[in-house]
Chains A and B, each alone.
Chain A
């Protein structure tokens, strides 16, 4: 120690300057200073020594291989420095522990490399018969001693040393927890971890180290559980955990859980001193920084939701506790500062153009290779990987895959994705511009307007006019109107019916224009004149419940009309009402309308009855369909009867042309006889039912005899009731006695008191067929009705089967 201390230090500084300038001198310098700065040296030298060693093993410019070699001789010095009796110099201890933390992975790797080497030489050594001692036991022993010494100091030292112990422990945990083996074939490239050590390593057997590691981790994380948290220890721990969270997946969750249980603001209940304030703020900020770091690195991880929640809660608590701090922070942006502040915050990408990658043709075809080429370098982009041998490609890609930065990969994938989307989107201008021939307006697009608008928003704003045109082309769907109430529907229905009737006067035409009669070939409702319109209306009324469009019997049958009282029949009632009113307005001119209507009604009743009986076999629930014919006949009859005069032929025609005569109808007719003036009319009406003239139906005058037989002959089912009515007239109406006697004599002579006239019932009966034969040319009251070639006369034309009145109605219906 002849050399004065400061001179020695000065010399050492010179040496340091040399190695800083040229790192290759490090091994020699380290070797030569070790004896000078050892446990026996002066404190100043020790401090300088450990500082230098810590700096050396931390230096990023020295290759790991070199550091590993230097580490072995350093171990004993470090151990001695730790074991100086009474040696408590903080600076020395801090330096030693820092250096040890850097050295530990090196030694660990050295031990592992040694065993690899040992295994290699073992195989070779069988030849020459000698084995070197391959396992460097003293080296590991030194390391183990340093390790245990540092663990002991962890609890007892001052904070400055403690934090270094924390870092050392973190390093030990990092090394003794399996890491990712990037490339097993190149161990020197791999991060040192226990994953590289064989299970049966004699000195560092992983099974023995694992419990130690686990215990160390627990102890390390214990700082978060303590009530009186020392900010510096918490910060030191938090800030060293990042690397473990990133590279040691097996323990990451445990660490995160421990942090999430930690509440750095817990001590902030009582009024805070400035120091406590600073400490709490410090812990809070450090916790937040670490968690946000984890969050940003892997936002997809399942734990990030909890992290987010924790950070949010932390923010809220902090605002509650340090509201003054917050207000100070809030005040900042409002400060008018000079230009420096605001411009600095402005995002300017001008100087650094974004990576656009290989340019893609906007319209032309692009190869997959072009799509995935992200480099802007032309020569690199045109490089053909296929030229390389396959095994080389495989080994290169393996190495590359292991070193891919997740963030960069994600960015690249997103970039390719956006490129793909941009070219796979059909060019917007094409649909509207050049290819107008191919343009087919789609009136039933799959998207609604919102979606189209959204898509339009997402489009690049090439041309706002075009974008608007695209929007305008989208079909607009009116919202559904609110459902109509029953009342509203009835009103609307009535309005519709009124409009339908309103058509009739519009279609008015001169009566005499149409001379040609199509006869049997006529098709109902095909001429689009007033008559056709009336046919249409009558059928609308009668068959509305069966469906407005159906014309045929099959349809009627299939549709069965179960909801007889539902909406359509109400509509039908309205139509019937209007129809009746229409007829009554001018019943003489419109009697043919009444007749064709009643024919339709009667036919419809029969069809429904048929359908009902057909269906009743299968389903007996439904009620029998309502019969309208009868009511309608009576209603019309009631309507016209008051206006009939004694010589009116209208009644006879009406009675003759309606498809069915019932007792009730005759009852009405009979009532006419109450009026002495109209007795004749009533009798004629009823007699008409009984007998029919052989001759033509005279226009001007109708012989009673011929008329009376009308119903009897042409409506056989009505004969009996007609005769009953006749008899009733004879008995009850004095005025009617005279005209009826004659006919009763003919048909029911037994009713009359015995008279001189001989009765011959057979003759008229035998005479019935005769008029049938002539009938087609005969009965038409055409002059009166003005060319009304309605259903009734034709029904009579069918003639041959007079027993079935349906035979009369059917052809008319079928013709429609």
Chain B
């Protein structure tokens, strides 16, 4: 196919993504506009499943810098697959692109809702933020949970019944405020998070597998990364379920299999470099 060399760079997929960002499609299962009544239905459908031991579910936590794009995409994916899931950001502030590189939109963690960000940005410049995909992203996020949360401010093990009541996706099953697996989306976040766990001192005596899946911070990659994270979660959960189904047999070691699982996963997703460690809550 003959392409004008001067226009060749436009053919670059990333360029195309920049010029016309592909907003993440709203999940098929739930439109972003859906509110608590729908959640009630979801909760109702999940609750009986949890009591069923064959449907044992690992609890997940997804983490990125601002708890907006990558962690939220993965959060949505995992929650949609009925995994208990919560999500956080490790940055000091929530940062969203603004009209220029030097004018980002900055928000506080924990106290600003996705809805208020959505309202603010659509009041500021709806065209711009629609075009760069922010509004679509926020629309997705506000359907998942109330607002971005900061990892460092999370009190591990504190009950999260409020989140269940608010209808956060993935809240069901994670109401005890504990998770089995944490997945970060950038090595920087992984470093921050592991350091933070060492800092906390592991007072809960609970092991937690902390993974990193390096995902570039754009809408397209977030979609791919979300898929990959769900794949990883499924693999891990399968292994955990297998262990529980052994019913007391001496050989059934989920934790030991984790490196294997990750290695297999890495071969399936070679473009997303992964990292893992066993940490303590």
Interface residues of A (CB under 8 A from B): 6, 9-10, 13, 16-17, 20-21, 43-44, 47, 54-55, 58-61, 86-92, 94, 98, 101-102, 158-160, 163-164, 167-168, 170-171, 230-232, 235-236, 239-240, 242-243, 246-247, 273-275, 277-279, 281-282, 285-286, 289-290, 292-293, 296, 325, 328-329, 332, 335-344, 346, 348, 350-352
Verify B255–A163 contact, CB threshold 8 A: yes
Verify B263–A171 contact, CB threshold 8 A: no
Residue A61 contacts which of B17, B159, B201 (CB distance < 8 angstroms)?
B159
Verify B108–A89 contact, CB threshold 8 A: no
Could you give 5 example pairs across A and B, Cβ below 8 Å?
A: A90-B252, A285-B194, A337-B18, A338-B17, A351-B108
Question: Please, which residues of chain A bring their CB within 8 A of the CB of B274?
Answer: 278
Verify B259–A164 contact, CB threshold 8 A: no
Interface residues of B (CB under 8 A from A): 14-15, 17-18, 21, 50-53, 65-66, 68-69, 91, 93, 95-98, 101-102, 104, 106, 108, 132-133, 155-159, 161, 175-176, 178, 187, 190-191, 194-195, 197-199, 201-207, 214, 216-219, 221, 243-244, 246-256, 258-260, 262-264, 266-267, 273-281
Verify B252–A335 contact, CB threshold 8 A: no
Question: Please, which residues of chain A bring their CB within 8 A of the CB of B253?
Answer: 90, 158-160
Verify A20–B176 contact, CB threshold 8 A: yes
Verify B280–A346 contact, CB threshold 8 A: no
CA distance A604 to B187 in the complex (A): 93
Chain A binding surface SS class: helix
CA distance A87 to B250 in the complex (A): 8
Task: Name A9's closest neighbour in chain B (CB-CB).
Answer: B51
Verify A290–B198 contact, CB threshold 8 A: yes
CA distance A100 to B109 in the complex (A): 36
Question: Please, which residues of chain B bring their CB within 8 A of the CB of A338?
Answer: 17-18, 21, 97, 132-133, 217-219
Contacts A167-B205, A282-B259; is A348 near B104 (CB within 8 Å)?
yes
Verify B53–A55 contact, CB threshold 8 A: no
Contacts A240-B202, A344-B66; is A91 near B266 (CB within 8 Å)?
no
Verify A91–B243 contact, CB threshold 8 A: yes
- Closest 4 A/B residue pairs (Cβ): A339-B97, A242-B198, A58-B204, A275-B263
CA distance A301 to B159 in the complex (A): 39
Verify B93–A348 contact, CB threshold 8 A: yes
Verify B243–A341 contact, CB threshold 8 A: no
CA distance A568 to B39 in the complex (A): 109
Verify B217–A336 contact, CB threshold 8 A: no
Verify B249–A285 contact, CB threshold 8 A: no
Verify B206–A98 contact, CB threshold 8 A: yes
Question: Please, which residues of chain B bring their CB within 8 A of the CB of A59?
Answer: 157-159
Question: Please, which residues of chain B bring their CB within 8 A of the CB of A13?
Answer: 50-51
Contacts A160-B256, A337-B217; is A20 near B280 (CB within 8 Å)?
no
Verify B106–A351 contact, CB threshold 8 A: yes
Question: Please, which residues of chain B bring their CB within 8 A of the CB of A278?
Answer: 259, 262-263, 266, 274-276
CA distance A9 to B50 in the complex (A): 10
Verify B104–A282 contact, CB threshold 8 A: no
Contacts A21-B159, A338-B133; is A102 near B278 (CB within 8 Å)?
no
Contacts A275-B263, A346-B104; is A289 near B191 (CB within 8 Å)?
yes
Residue A289 contacts which of B91, B198, B256 (CB distance < 8 angstroms)?
B198
Verify B277–A293 contact, CB threshold 8 A: no
17 other contacts beyond A285-B194, A289-B277, A338-B132, with CB at 8 A cut-off?
A17-B161, A61-B159, A90-B252, A90-B253, A158-B256, A239-B277, A239-B279, A239-B280, A242-B201, A277-B263, A278-B259, A278-B275, A285-B277, A329-B187, A335-B216, A344-B66, A351-B106
CA distance A44 to B244 in the complex (A): 9
Question: Please, which residues of chain B bring their CB within 8 A of the CB of A243?
Answer: 198, 201-203
Tell me the smallest distance from the CB of B171 to a CB of chain A, in Å: 12
Question: Please, which residues of chain B bring their CB within 8 A of the CB of A94?
Answer: 207
Question: Please, which residues of chain B bring their CB within 8 A of the CB of A92?
Answer: 248
CA distance A351 to B50 in the complex (A): 43
Task: Name B212's closest neighbour in chain A (CB-CB).
Answer: A285
Residue A239 contacts which of B95, B158, B197 (CB distance < 8 angstroms)?
B197
Verify B278–A158 contact, CB threshold 8 A: no
Tell me the smallest distance from the CB of B47 to a CB of chain A, in Å: 8
Tell me the smallest distance from the CB of B43 to a CB of chain A, in Å: 12
Question: Please, which residues of chain A bring their CB within 8 A of the CB of B201?
Answer: 242-243, 246-247
CA distance A428 to B154 in the complex (A): 48
Contacts A44-B53, A338-B132; is A102 near B218 (CB within 8 Å)?
no
Verify A275–B159 contact, CB threshold 8 A: no
Residue B14 contacts which of A160, A167, A246, A335 (CB distance < 8 angstroms)?
A335
Question: Please, which residues of chain A bring their CB within 8 A of the CB of B15?
Answer: 336
CA distance A160 to B256 in the complex (A): 7
Q: Which of A275, A341, A344 has the most CB of B within 10 A?
A: A344
CA distance A292 to B203 in the complex (A): 20
Task: Name B175's closest neighbour in chain A (CB-CB).
Answer: A20
CA distance A764 to B215 in the complex (A): 133
Question: Please, which residues of chain B bring their CB within 8 A of the CB of A242?
Answer: 198-199, 201-202
Q: Which of A86, A159, A164 has the most CB of B within 10 A?
A: A159
CA distance A277 to B275 in the complex (A): 10
Tell me the smallest distance from the CB of B6 to a CB of chain A, in Å: 18
Residue A351 contacts which of B93, B101, B246 (CB distance < 8 angstroms)?
B93
Contacts A20-B176, A88-B250, A346-B104; is A232 near B255 (CB within 8 Å)?
yes
CA distance A60 to B102 in the complex (A): 41
Q: Which of B14, B51, B187 has the most CB of A within 10 A?
A: B51
Verify B97–A289 contact, CB threshold 8 A: no
Residue B195 contacts which of A9, A61, A289, A340 (CB distance < 8 angstroms)?
A289
Verify A58–B281 contact, CB threshold 8 A: yes
CA distance A370 to B34 in the complex (A): 56
CA distance A717 to B156 in the complex (A): 122
CA distance A20 to B174 in the complex (A): 11
Question: Please, which residues of chain B bring their CB within 8 A of the CB of A344?
Answer: 65-66, 91, 95, 104, 217
CA distance A352 to B197 in the complex (A): 25
Verify A343–B259 contact, CB threshold 8 A: no
CA distance A667 to B93 in the complex (A): 113
Verify A293–B198 contact, CB threshold 8 A: yes
Verify B95–A343 contact, CB threshold 8 A: yes
Verify A20–B159 contact, CB threshold 8 A: yes
Task: Name B133's closest neighbour in chain A (CB-CB).
Answer: A338
CA distance A59 to B204 in the complex (A): 7
Question: Please, which residues of chain B bring their CB within 8 A of the CB of A240?
Answer: 202, 280
Verify A43–B106 contact, CB threshold 8 A: no
Task: Name A16's closest neighbour in chain B (CB-CB).
Answer: B176
Verify B132–A90 contact, CB threshold 8 A: no
Question: Please, which residues of chain B bring their CB within 8 A of the CB of A10?
Answer: 51
Question: Please, which residues of chain B bring their CB within 8 A of the CB of A352?
Answer: 93
CA distance A240 to B194 in the complex (A): 11
CA distance A343 to B98 in the complex (A): 8
CA distance A9 to B262 in the complex (A): 32
Task: Name B12's closest neighbour in chain A (CB-CB).
Answer: A336
Task: Name A341's closest neighbour in chain B (CB-CB).
Answer: B217
Contacts A59-B157, A235-B279, A351-B108; is A158 near B101 (CB within 8 Å)?
no
Task: Name A239's closest neighbour in chain B (CB-CB).
Answer: B279
CA distance A167 to B247 in the complex (A): 24
Question: Please, which residues of chain B bring their CB within 8 A of the CB of A346?
Answer: 95, 101-102, 104
CA distance A210 to B112 in the complex (A): 51
Question: Please, which residues of chain A bring their CB within 8 A of the CB of B266?
Answer: 274, 278
Tell me the smallest distance from the CB of A101 to a CB of chain B, in Å: 4
Task: Name B258's closest neighbour in chain A (CB-CB).
Answer: A232
CA distance A243 to B21 in the complex (A): 46
Tell me the smallest distance from the CB of B258 to a CB of chain A, in Å: 7
Residue B206 contacts which of A58, A282, A286, A339 (CB distance < 8 angstroms)?
A58
Verify A340–B97 contact, CB threshold 8 A: yes
Tell me the smallest distance from the CB of B205 to a CB of chain A, in Å: 4
Question: Please, which residues of chain B bring their CB within 8 A of the CB of A293?
Answer: 195, 198-199
Question: Please, which residues of chain B bring their CB within 8 A of the CB of A239?
Answer: 194, 197-198, 202, 277-280
Question: Please, which residues of chain A bring their CB within 8 A of the CB of B194?
Answer: 239, 285-286, 289
Task: Name B105's closest neighbour in chain A (CB-CB).
Answer: A343
Question: Please, which residues of chain A bring their CB within 8 A of the CB of B281?
Answer: 58
